[in-house]
Chains A and B, each alone.
Chain A
Amino acid sequence: MANIHPAGVFDTTYEEDMSVDRTTRDKLWKNLAFAALLLLPLVSVSGPLGLGWVSDQYIGLIARISIFVIAVQGLNILVGYTGQISLGHAAFMAIGAYGSAILARELGFSFWTALPVSALLTGLVGLLFGLPSLRVKGFYLAMATLAAQFIIPWVLRYPLEDLTGGTRPLSVPAPMIGPFASYADDAIGADEPLAFQAGDPYFVDVISVDLTAVAGSYPIIELINPAGDAVPYGDFYMSIAEDSDGNITGLSYIASKAGEYQVLVRAQNGGEFTAVLRRSKALSFATDIAMYYIILPLAVLLMFLARNIIRTRTGRAFISVRDNDLAAELLGINVFGYKLRAFFLSAVYAGVAGCLLAYERNSLSLDAFQLDTSIEMLAMLIIGGAGFPLGAMFGVTFIRLLQEAMIPTLRPWLSDWLPQLLPFVDAVNITSAINPILFGGALIVFLVLEPRGIAHRWEVFKVAWKLRPYSY
């Protein structure tokens, strides 16, 4: 049904028959949609063109939708295509998020290496929690993956508290390319503050102080940011350079806020030193718009890769395991091996999503990765259409837009009206209950009216559109 072509289009090669977008019109629509999404931040309020056609909140919204599309697509591979179940998906996201944050904070990994490393790490943990799938199916497997949902956040919260900060939020540095070669070197004298202009939200200044010759004890370096506050040592971008004798020769700091900075080097106990303030530029992704340009292309890429996996050998093995694991095993598919592959792939997607979430928010908290998030992601998948290539995209977009549109509208109205009708209802409780009610309502409506999800409706619609104006 889904393979209907417009009149006059015939497949003459297997390449054509296999292609996802058969006609140029299909390709055009897809590319136009992607181009429109890419151009959107440019016309937003804080965009570089200063047009202000789109509110900034939508840029952040699309970025967060894209992150969850990646995570839910991972779930789709496992649940929708391989027929396994996972209630621990949010915990896998937590590994991606905390893994990349710790790699960046403790080991000085850049975002670009922390992303693949933390994704692989998550994949391996996913593999571990996929092992019970050898023995158990369905509800029992759900219980086994539920263990992941409780064990992983517990491990992050207590045994690894030194690294993760436990219940306290953990700050995450912004992704950066560079720094490139320095463009200004200024000599600094003792006790004379040096003022300089720096800061552009995208093309940031990396300020480093080079101590080339030090006699006696080390001088104290103080950085004053545009707000007039001294930057505490913890906020330095600690690229500590050491010379061959093990002496510290410098520190650096990223200035992303525009304004006048000051650096002050004070000698201690009359020591002698020569210091140079070196400024270089780096491309920073600290702003929402810059993160958008990392997240959106990555989401599109991962959707594309998932779709290709699904339509080739591995994907057919996944589908075989889902539809009839017994027949699959007897026809040459290593069922357990492919279940594990699905767990791995699904966890890698969760890991990427978790890592992006960490860098998008700049701050991490375990509250974002609890059981309710896992269940919400499953619900999004069911609403969007499990086992459809675009199911994840439809589900996440639908639910997020519903929340975005409905909660602000419903909140004042319900808070006024419901306590009047039912005097025992507390207005505060209503506000916090709107989200689960929306979620539950949407899930019930879809399970009853369209259990195959929005993606199935979309395919029906596409066929109807191509057949118009006739219905056959």
Chain B
Amino acid sequence: MPVKLHVNRISLNFGGIKALNEVEFRVKAGEIFAVIGPNGAGKTSLINSINGFYTPQAGTIIFEGDDITHMPPYKRAALGISRTFQNIALYTNATVLDNLMAARHIHMKTGMLSGALFWGAAQREEIAHRRRVEEIIDFLELEHIRKSIVGTLSYGLRKRVELGRALALEPTLLLLDEPMAGMNVEEKEDMARFILDIHELQGSTIMLIEHDIGLVMDISHRIAVIDFGVKIGEGAPDEISRDEAVISAYLGDEEH
């Protein structure tokens, strides 16, 4: 399988704090890759670096063979990198539909002038992209809240809308930052099903961060473990669950 994303020995410092220290891994095209680690291990910093929100002081990020380390975030999105956020970052005063349509931005062309005139090209484009967005709404079962203002929705629904927004961008690499945080068992299972369906139907590469070890072990193909900004293990779920360093750092020391 070709390498989709190569995080090449990146280091990220905030003043004296080393958030990431020479972290390296390769995400292969079409796999579900999970990153786990205790709180404060640097998982979100890692996603933010891949995304372009932070620029690592050392190392490179290679996406589909191109170095994107110094590319601005919005251009990375145009390459097909999409994400969700740990603390939901939706456009709260807009409707679910507008949130999803806003993520179609990179696929649309309407500028200010043709948009102002609306009839003609702009309307045709709106309708074409609305069809795509409706497919996602259908897939994530959001039909009933299509026109609700996001700010009025429950936490679980918002998480799902955010996944929908990430999907509306038609990503080839989907970054999920704790998609199941704060959910009950049923909601978690729903979300896991959606993630597997996305992988199955669209064949997109998914990189996710998650705390629920059991769930991560069930759905991901490979796992990387990070602790204090350092990668301490990488491998298939069953290898990880047997790895000494990982067990002591994250799953807990058996001697205690």
| Chain A interface (Cβ < 8 Å from any Cβ of B) | 3, 14-15, 18, 305-306, 308-309, 311-317, 319-320, 322-324, 326-335, 341, 345, 387
Contact = CB atoms under 8 A, between A and B. Distances in A.
A314 B126 contact: no
Nearest to A312: B115
Interface in B94-133: 94, 98, 101-103, 105-106, 108-112, 115-118, 122-123, 125-127, 130-131
Contacts, number: 113
Contacts of B123: 15, 18
A155 B72 CA distance: 37
A312 B102 CA distance: 9
Contacts of A341: 112
B91 A313 contact: no
A313 B130 contact: no
Interface of B: 51-53, 72-74, 77-78, 82-83, 85, 89-94, 98, 101-103, 105-106, 108-112, 115-118, 122-123, 125-127, 130-131, 147, 165-166, 169
A319 B149 CA distance: 13
A233 to B, nearest CB: 44
Given A327-B89, A332-B106, A345-B112, A312 B73 contact: no
Given A330-B52, A332-B74, A345-B112, A316 B82 contact: no
Contacts of A311: 118
Nearest to B111: A314
B102 A333 contact: yes
A329 B77 CA distance: 8
Given A14-B127, A387-B93, A333 B74 contact: yes
A314 B98 CA distance: 12
A333 B126 contact: no
Nearest to A2: B147
Contact of B105 (A3, A317, A322, A324): A317
Contacts of B169: 331-332
13 contacts: A305-B116, A305-B117, A308-B115, A316-B101, A319-B91, A319-B93, A326-B53, A327-B91, A330-B52, A331-B77, A331-B165, A333-B74, A334-B74
Nearest to B149: A1
Contacts of B73: 329-330
A320 B102 contact: yes
B91 A333 contact: no
A315 B85 CA distance: 23
A301 to B, nearest CB: 10
Given A308-B116, A308-B122, A332 B105 contact: yes
A315 B95 CA distance: 13
Contacts of A323: 90-94
B115 A315 contact: yes
Contacts of B53: 326, 329-330
B91 A335 contact: no
B75 to A, nearest CB: 8
Contacts of A320: 91, 94, 102, 105
A283 B217 CA distance: 80
Contacts of A335: 74
Contact of B83 (A312, A324, A330): A330
B77 A330 contact: yes
B89 A326 contact: yes
A319 B108 CA distance: 16
Given A312-B122, A317-B102, A330-B51, 17 more contacts: A309-B112, A313-B109, A313-B111, A313-B122, A314-B111, A316-B102, A319-B93, A320-B94, A324-B92, A327-B90, A329-B74, A330-B77, A331-B77, A331-B165, A332-B77, A333-B74, A334-B74
Contacts of B127: 14-15, 18
A317 B94 CA distance: 11
Nearest to B117: A308
Given A312-B110, A323-B93, A331 B105 contact: yes
Contact of A3 (B82, B118, B147): B147
B103 to A, nearest CB: 5
Nearest to A316: B102
A317 B105 CA distance: 8
Nearest to B107: A332
A312 B109 CA distance: 10
Contacts of B166: 331
A333 B93 CA distance: 18
A183 to B, nearest CB: 40
Contacts of A328: 91, 102
B116 A309 contact: yes
Given A323-B92, A324-B90, A333-B102, A314 B112 contact: yes
A326 B52 CA distance: 11
Given A332-B77, A332-B105, A327 B85 contact: yes
Contacts of B108: 313
A319 B115 contact: no
B94 A313 contact: no
